[in-house]
Structure 1
Amino acid sequence: MADLIATPTKPNRRTQSPETEDDPRWQLVERIVASPSFAKSERLSSFLTCVCQLAQSGQTQNINEQYIGSVVFGRNPDYDPGIDSIVRSHASRLRHRLGQYFAEEGAEEELLLTIPKGGYIPVFEPRHPHTESSQPETPKPFPNPGIIVAAEPAPSPVSPSLPVTQETPRKTSLIRILTIALIATALVAATSIGALVLERRHARPTVAVSESVPLFWSSLFNANHKTNVILADSGLVILQNLTRRRITLDTYLNGDYLKNLPPTAYPVAQTINLGIRRYTSIVDVNIQNRLFRMPGLDLDRTQFRYARDLRMDDIKQGNLVLLGTYESTPWVQLFEPSMNFYFENDLAAGVFSIVNRAPRPGEQPKYDALNNDPEHTVYGLVAYRPSLSGSENVLILEGQSMAGTETAADFVFDDGYLLPFLRSIRNPDGSIPYFELLLRSRSIGVEASRLEIIASRIENR
């Protein structure tokens, strides 16, 4: 029987004891979360408050990805951090935001607060080392001290400017910090590398915000709506190729697609555990990383979810980004009936096609992606659609293969392609109408051709 995990209580910085509230370290935390850099980001503030409270109460064993994901971000206690990187991605932004705070409104702070890479345990240290002739009053430790304090270089064995818990030598504290950092680093080494790119403590060189952010991306990622970015279930594609039959959204949701497998497919599916394994595409991971690297994009209310973890309630509320075709992300099937272009895989014939419901002059009713194509033609589709409720927006990036999905992603992330298109279709009020783009790219040998739009549909045009 699986172990039962109690649902932890959300952090509340108003429940501190008077003794804690008088501690300079906790007062620093309060100033940070009340600052302009944090005031508009409830999640980053909750993240920081949570880890500081846990450290304050001596619960450093709970300062881990699984616990933070459950308490701060509302994930199930048994969720898989290897697939859902929400804690790592927010930790990256938290480190950057802390660096911004101490470089700007907290420039005069005498005490620094950092979250070292490789873990989530808060560390306090003085901004400027104190000399023997200047020894300020030692800050009073928390009632049950647990926050690690980085020891500063000093001629004496114990720094007079910081409290030492239980008379432990500085060397022990440093070993503890290094041990935790090394263990945590080893655990996250196999996860998405892109989420670590943003982890820079101090202010980075200013990067101009692209025109595409306010023009297009802010309609999908903003402070007023939550957004789910759905990573593909690549194991589902393997299963459909083995069974030669399509899996509908209904059977995907109720799990019936794993029942009554054909005899030839069952041993393989059982061997690689397609029902429980969580495979996704490296292209989808790269798209996630490209979102994190985009200057000016507000991702505070964004969650990255595995297709199998989603439910209808998630689809009905907030913005949505779907990566992959109906084969790997069955949720696309909800939007295909209202789309002019959609993908169709004839598993029996082995032909993957893009169907054009209403061909215009010069367009084909079908565009077949052939395995033996000497020009290696790749098709991708970008669809910007209204949500099921009609009050939010949906972006679908898909292709007949990983290369096709990457083609769609290359178009929306490259301002050289995206901006001229957006400028050509925007409404008089500056808004962007809903649209669908069928893209094609060819490669011969090692030379890849430029992306081209071979068909499009713009709402009200």
Structure 2
Amino acid sequence: MLAINEIETTCERSQGELEHSSEQIAETLDQILRSTRFKDSQQLQTLLRFVVEETIKGNDENLKERMIGIYVFGRRPDYDTTEDPIVRSRMGLLRKRLAQYYEGSAAEQSSVQIVIPNGTYRPVFVSRPITKGKRTQSLLGGTKPAPMSIPVITNIVPAIETPQPTIVTPDSPPAALSPFRRWVGFKAASIAAVLAVVLVGAWWFFLRPQQQEMDALWAPIIKGKQPVYIYTGTMPVYEPESPADEASSPADLYWPIRVPEPPTADLPKMGPNQVFSYGEGMLTGSVYADIRVSAFLSKYNRTPVMRSGPDLPYMDLKGSPLILIGSFDNYWTRVMNESLPFYFDRGFGIRERAGAHRRWHNPLKAEMTPRMMDDYALVFRVMDSKAGAPVLAIAGLSTCGTHAVADFVTDPVQMKALSGIPKSDLLSKNIELVLHTSLVNCAPTSVQVIASKVW
């Protein structure tokens, strides 16, 4: 492996002389991100993925300190790089982790080494032709060791005939199995194959049909190797007297909710009579949904990346499946929902865009009291979203509705309500559902699908 001081003088030549396919580089990148050095640091994973992918695309203008700060770390376009050295500090840590990775055994079979030279944020891809076996031979002088001479004792007949061990030297071919051993091996393999088929069939017959609708709905989210993001909406501790999205006249109820500017990571806005700040509070139904969905994903060996408030740079969304929790308190839910067949309107309701223009709303939503006996919610899954990856939203009109939807999409029994939708549509098409839930003290007692759209 190249040492750090050697890389600065050799990587430029290697970049010009060595050609690596994007598939080789992508495979190496995936191996690195799954290694013990990187799997516990989502920030370093995002940083490394960004600089490698932008280099492959030839977008050198995005490999500047300011652009990395904006796209990877969510900084404002006018942030002061001298006062905020996050890119430089994380890049130094990234170089150190890469060097440690290539010193370990996990990188022995990698044919490409990703190097980020000092003084630049543009990685280069260095060929690594020496494998572990070749390195061992070079340490022994580069010659193949001669086979050891083993004496064979003859003319000794044992009292009881027993099978003799076969002595295999490095140059001797493997001994052929006897017909009897081949027959035994064939029978054992056949029995194992039959047992495997029986077990798989039993699993399919008794368990799989019970959750096939749920698996089909979630398949686009949990498949692949990209991290799964969960973004949860937050509510300000104090609000202005007249929220910007509240309906001001009956005519406003027919228009989709206005999508506001995304929340920023600035300090709270101070005024004489109010403090208005994002990210200070999270609704209980959203917290429940976070826990429920995270536990559900763990069954598929997927550990989600949790985000809330302004803590979701747009770069993180590109190509990664996204789960949205919450409705009016979630900026990204409103962005993804504004043009769908069923949408959240300004009157805290759900409206049908075409057809009968039906509308569902809860007059007690603003109170959030135990008097709430029912609520409505939206579930939508968009396959090719604005983020370039599948998006699944779990959004009730109130926190109680969000609680109910989280139970619905993770319960195979409740998901049988989607049995009327063809499985091929559940797997590959856009889906939007309007749900009604009955409540007792904000806890759901039943959920029904009252409207749906598949396209």
TM-score range, shorter chain: 0.3 to 0.5
Structure index of larger Rg? 2
